[in-house]
Structures are given as structure tokens and as C-alpha cells.
């Protein structure tokens, strides 16, 4: 097609690029108009229009189940068939995406919670659960994610990148030499998936070990997708909190909250926007818990501190008292911000049917509140350590109204609770103020230290 100077005079712009048409927007418009309260057309109905393309049908079926979970109420048969579809889909490594990994974990979580609500199950449902006892089995889920990580050789790739022999993070995982990036990136995201699954199970150290090949303190492929970025830091920070590694949790929560504050306006039209805002609020609640147990406000950006004071300033003051009201606040914030824990084991169908979907949550809450209670006496120690640069053990014991032997036990507890051991075996220091006792000649930490004689 040719153009003349007249065309140019009428507004022709050779640098003009038309607005792109996003398939996702078209799908969402069609969904709102025609499938808001009903399922998409079946795979069988669509197959003939795509020449029965096997890969397309597998991916369409995955989207079909995703719509069903999001908009409708999937039956037990649907849940079992979605498991079968993932089993088939996971043998096609060229089609992996982050949202498929996170959806895989979500459907596992959803099935586990569904199965744990036994009181309302019909005989037919129980028969199906018994027959398909391998559907969404925890070992199957973990094996899939582990296999993806191993087959992608992502751990070796990341190690070679550290040694300067590979480029992976710099290209966001893309291989511009003509190779496929999908399996490598999927293996990478599977490490995040493993972190999330282990957090749901309450196995925090194993979850963190799954993420060891990724340097979480640096930009990486996990930061190239907003959902991955937030999910990674949320579960990473929560695991650190539960392992008493509060300083590391505060560092990462602060960084991601600053990032969300600066960029959330660019995601307002994203389907993930509501989830971004929810995780943002949850991480502010988790940061409040961390700072109440381990007062390290100097590690927090002023922007985040300002938001924190606005959202939880009054509650943080009350949480310092360690009375019944403060424990209720810890309970409230933990319950709001924690993952939806699951019990992965199947029930005994021969025994009376009871709901156990809340058991895992109650156990994690109990362990957390037990840890908070142990911090009660430590807050008194911290108060005195902030006042004195040097104080005798006898005098401090007198102030705290305990004998010297009990005080030494409390001080050793303080050391224990404010230090932890990392995956590399090194001691990690958490206290905002530390001390040493002259007669034991034990100096620990690099922070402001108080000498006890």
C-alpha cells in the first residue's frame, strides 16, 4: 500500500504504533458477558475448532478448571479431574508459566481443605475420595515440583551464573540463542512453589532450604513477575518469623512494602490487583508482629514506618505490654496474616467423621502464641538494658525481683531467643540491644552492648 503527501497532511504519522489488543482483555470481557455464573464450553466442544490440537486442549482444560475454581463451586469429580489434567500437563515442559505453578499449589491447598471438612460429606463423596486416594496427594505435589526443579537443572544454572559462566537473571530467564527458557524458568518458579507448600505444612526450614539457590537479597527472575515477587517474599518472611529470625524478616518485608507502595498504581488494571493489596495488608500485619517482638524500627524505611503507624500504631503500643489484651492482638494479627495451613493426610473413613480443616491453623497459632509468651520476661530485661550501660547481676536481679540464679536463666533465655542458626550453620543475631557478663567473659553480637558485672 502506497501513501502520498496528501495522506501525510491529513495526519499520517510514520512513527505511530497502534494500541495492542490483549487476548486476556478479550477473554475477561467474554467471561463477564457470558460465563459469569456458568462454566466455559467444554474441551470437547472447542476441540474441533482448533483441529483437536493436543497442547491447546490441555491448556484450555487448565483454564477451564481455573475459571471453575474462581467463579463456581467445583464438584469432587471436577477436583479429581483437574488433578489428572495437571498430571498430564506437567509432561509438556514447553508451556510452563508462573500462574500455572501457583494455581497448581492453590488447587492442592483447596482440595486439602475440602477433604478436611468431613461432616458434610455424602456417602457418594466419601466413596469417590476413597477410590481416588492419590488425587492431590502431598507426596505427588512435592514430587512434581521437585522433579521440575531437578529436570530444569536450575540449581546448576544459578551456580554457574554466580561463577560468571551463565546469564540467567540478566535476561529474566530468556535464552536469546534460540533455546527454550520455559523449563528453566518453570524449575525456578517451582522452588517458590516448594517454599509455599512447606509453609502450608508448617515445615519452615525445609521451605527456606528449597529457596537457597536463589539470592533473595538481590533482584532475580522471581521479581520479574509481580505475583511471584510478592508470594516469594510473603512466604519467605513468614517462615523467618516462625523461626525467630526477625531481623531478616523485617529486612525483606520492608523492601517489598516499599516496592508495592511505589508501583501499585501501575497494577490497578491487573487481575492480580486485589491480591496485591491483600498481601500488602497482610505483610504490614506480619511486620507489626516482628517489630513488636524485636524492636528494630531503624531497619524500616520512613515510608513504611509512616504507613505502619497509621495502620497499627496504637496496637503496637498495646502489644508491648504482654498482658491478655496484647496476646489477643497477636492472635488477631497472626490469624489475619498467616497462610491457610493444611493437614495433608487423608482422614480415616472408618471412624466417626469430623471436621479437621482448622487443626493445622490452631497448632501453628498455639506454637506462635507460646513463643510470644516466652518473650514476656525478655521485654523486662530489654527495658533495663536500655537504661544501664553497666549494672551488676545482683542489682538487676533485685530490680526484677528474682534471685541471681533465676536472672542468669532469664539472661540465657534472652540470648537463646534473640539468636538463631541459619541454614549455613552460622549464628544470626536479632536483638536491638545485647550484653555480656564479665565473669563469664562471653561477648556476643555487634550491636549496642551492656556490660553486666
- State how many domains the chain has: 1
Residue 415 belongs to domain spanning: 377-452
Residue 385 forms part of a structural domain: yes
Residue 396 forms part of a structural domain: yes
Residue 134 forms part of a structural domain: no
Residue 426 forms part of a structural domain: yes
Residue 323 forms part of a structural domain: no
For the beta carbon of residue 46, count every other beta carbon within 10 angstroms: 16
Contacts of 197 (CB under 8 A, 6+ apart): 105, 108, 138, 141, 142, 145, 207
Residue 116 forms part of a structural domain: no
Question: What CA dihedral angle connects 401, 404, 405 and 411, to 10 degrees?
Answer: 80
Residue 429 forms part of a structural domain: yes
**List of the chain residues with pLDDT < 50:** 1-18, 20-21, 92-95, 440-449, 453
For the beta carbon of residue 9, count every other beta carbon within 10 angstroms: 8
pLDDT for 129-168, tens place per residue? 999 888 999 999 999 999 999 999 999 999 988 888 888 8
Is the separation of the CB atoms in 195 and 235 below 8 Å? yes
What pLDDT is attached to residue 443?
30
Note the pTM of the prediction, 2 decimals.
Answer: 0.75
What pLDDT is attached to residue 100?
84
Residue 421 forms part of a structural domain: yes
| Burial tier of 445 (Cβ tally within 10 Å: 0-12, 13-18, 19+) | middle
Cα–Cα nearest to 85, from 102, 71, 64, 105: 64
E strand or H helix that includes residue 343: none
pLDDT for 381-410, tens place per residue? 777 777 777 778 888 888 888 888 888 888
Amino acid at each position: 500500500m502506497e501513501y502520498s503527501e496528501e495522506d501525510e497532511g491529513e495526519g499520517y504519522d510514520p512513527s505511530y504504533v497502534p494500541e495492542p489488543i490483549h487476548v486476556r482483555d478479550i477473554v475477561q470481557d467474554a467471561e463477564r458477558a457470558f460465563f459469569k455464573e456458568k462454566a466455559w464450553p467444554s474441551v470437547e466442544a472447542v476441540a474441533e475448532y482448533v483441529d483437536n490440537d493436543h497442547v491447546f486442549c490441555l491448556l484450555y482444560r487448565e483454564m477451564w478448571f481455573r475459571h471453575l475454581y474462581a467463579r463456581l463451586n467445583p464438584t469432587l469429580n471436577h477436583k479429581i479431574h483437574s488433578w489428572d489434567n495437571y498430571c498430564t500437563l506437567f509432561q509438556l515442559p514447553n508451556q510452563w508459566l508462573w500462574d500455572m505453578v501457583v494455581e497448581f499449589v492453590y488447587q492442592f491447598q483447596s482440595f486439602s481443605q475440602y477433604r478436611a471438612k468431613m461432616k458434610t460429606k455424602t456417602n457418594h463423596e466419601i466413596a469417590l475420595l476413597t477410590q481416588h486416594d492419590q488425587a492431590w496427594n502431598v507426596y505427588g505435589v512435592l514430587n512434581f515440583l521437585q522433579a521440575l526443579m531437578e529436570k530444569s537443572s536450575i540449581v546448576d544454572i544459578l551456580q554457574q551464573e554466580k561463577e560468571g559462566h551463565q546469564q540467567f537473571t540478566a535476561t529474566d530467564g530468556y535464552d536469546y540463542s534460540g533455546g527454550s527458557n520455559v523449563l528453566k524458568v518453570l524449575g525456578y518458579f517451582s522452588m517458590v512453589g516448594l517454599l509455599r507448600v512447606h509453609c502450608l505444612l508448617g515445615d519452615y526450614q525445609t521451605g527456606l532450604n528449597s529457596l537457597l539457590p536463589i539470592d533473595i537479597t538481590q533482584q532475580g527472575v522471581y521479581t520479574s513477575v509481580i505475583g511471584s515477587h510478592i508470594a516469594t517474599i510473603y512466604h519467605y518472611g513468614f517462615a523467618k518469623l516462625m523461626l525467630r529470625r526477625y531481623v531478616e524478616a523485617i529486612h525483606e518485608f520492608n523492601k517489598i512494602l516499599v516496592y508495592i507502595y511505589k508501583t501499585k498504581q501501575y497494577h490497578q488494571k491487573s487481575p492480580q490487583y486485589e491480591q496485591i493489596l491483600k498481601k500488602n495488608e497482610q505483610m504490614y500485619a506480619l511486620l507489626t508482629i516482628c517489630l513488636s517482638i524485636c524492636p528494630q524500627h531503624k531497619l524500616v524505611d520512613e515510608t513504611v514506618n509512616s504507613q505502619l503507624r497509621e495502620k497499627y500504631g496504637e496496637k503496637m503500643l498495646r502489644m508491648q505490654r504482654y498482658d491478655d489484651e496484647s496476646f489477643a492482638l497477636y492472635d488477631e494479627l497472626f490469624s489475619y496474616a498467616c497462610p491457610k495451613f493444611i493437614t495433608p493426610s487423608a482422614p480415616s473413613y472408618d471412624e466417626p467423621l469430623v471436621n479437621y480443616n482448622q487443626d493445622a491453623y490452631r497448632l501453628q497459632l498455639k506454637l506462635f502464641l507460646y513463643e510470644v509468651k516466652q518473650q514476656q520476661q525478655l521485654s523486662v530485661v530489654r527495658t533495663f538494658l536500655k537504661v544501664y550501660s553497666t549494672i551488676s547481676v545482683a542489682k538487676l536481679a533485685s530490680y526484677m525481683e528474682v534471685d541471681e540464679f533465676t536472672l542468669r536463666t532469664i539472661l540465657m533465655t534472652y540470648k537463646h531467643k534473640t539468636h538463631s542458626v541459619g541454614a549455613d550453620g552460622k549464628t544470626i543475631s536479632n536483638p536491638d540491644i545485647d550484653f555480656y557478663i564479665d565473669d563469664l567473659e562471653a561477648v556476643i553480637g555487634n550491636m549496642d552492648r551492656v556490660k553486666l558485672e
